[in-house]
Copies of this chain bind each other. A is one copy, B any other.
Amino acid sequence: MAQLVEIDDAADPRLADYRDLRDVELRKHLEATHGLFLAEGEKVVRRAVEAGHTPRSFLMAPRWLDGLADVLERSEAPCYVVSEALAEQVTGFHVHRGALASLERRPLPSLDEVLAGARSVLVLEDLVDHTNVGAILRSGAALGFDAVLLAPRCADPLYRRAIKVAMGAVFSLPWTRLPDWYDALVDLGERGFTTVALTLAEDAVPIEEAVRGLDKVALVLGSEGHGLSARWEQSAAKRAIIPMAAGIDSLNVAAATAVACYVTARR
């Protein structure tokens, strides 16, 4: 049973995990250093715990305690009980979704584990926007993809905003970081995946045509600004495009991914 600890001082060092949640750079540093991540709201906290992440602590106002009673019952981590005003003061925003929890990250699974049995996987190069990464995880899970692989510089799926947008998919869909950027697609090819890069390259064919009849597919997506690196674009087995209206050459990467996942799932 989590021990309830009332705190009324925003400077209390036990609240360190919850400081300045809107300061992206500070949070990246703090979360990496301490190997933690933040979950926000009753549903997300519950999913994170059920996915096997050990809570370091909980932070909530008294009226949020009941909703997570079962989770607190089974945890040994302290639960800091604070006023909503204090929660806002510490985190830097109005915590309207209720409970927060700080949880331990776990070692990322190996590529072998994540790819075992997978037939459709998403491969994200250097997406910088946490909302996009979260939305892509959600779409991948909903549209029948089996795993997500992230290039070393891709944004963190366990960042608070990404978790929120992913609606729990970050805990249900297997994902990991690619150990190597340069030969990542070559390696996937050797593992039996046809790598299909979404791009505006001249030799790109419509996505339906590119994936038709393929067995194991790895759909490869590039960053928001510049798209795929030349290395990935050229080392993919196929280049595909989502046909678009004349004069318009781009969809948001999350929208493009949803369309490509839908089409690929029906190959």
Binding site for B on A (CB under 8 A): 131, 135, 138-139, 141-144, 165, 167, 169, 242, 244-245, 248, 250-252, 254-259, 262-263
Contacts and interface: CB of A to CB of B under 8 A. Distances in A.
A211 to B, nearest CB: 14
A29 B258 CA distance: 35
The DSSP consensus for interface residues of chain A is: helix
A138 B254 CA distance: 12
A75 to B, nearest CB: 25
Oligomeric state, in copies = 2
B258 A143 contact: no
A139 B259 CA distance: 10
Contacts of A255: 135, 138-139, 142, 254-255, 257-258
A119 to B, nearest CB: 13
Which 9 A/B pairs are nearest by Cβ-Cβ distance? A255-B258, A259-B262, A144-B245, A142-B244, A142-B248, A139-B255, A142-B251, A258-B258, A258-B259
A147 B93 CA distance: 37
User: Which among A139, A141, A250 has the highest number of chain B CB atoms within 10 Å?
Assistant: A139
Given A144-B245, A245-B144, A139 B251 contact: yes
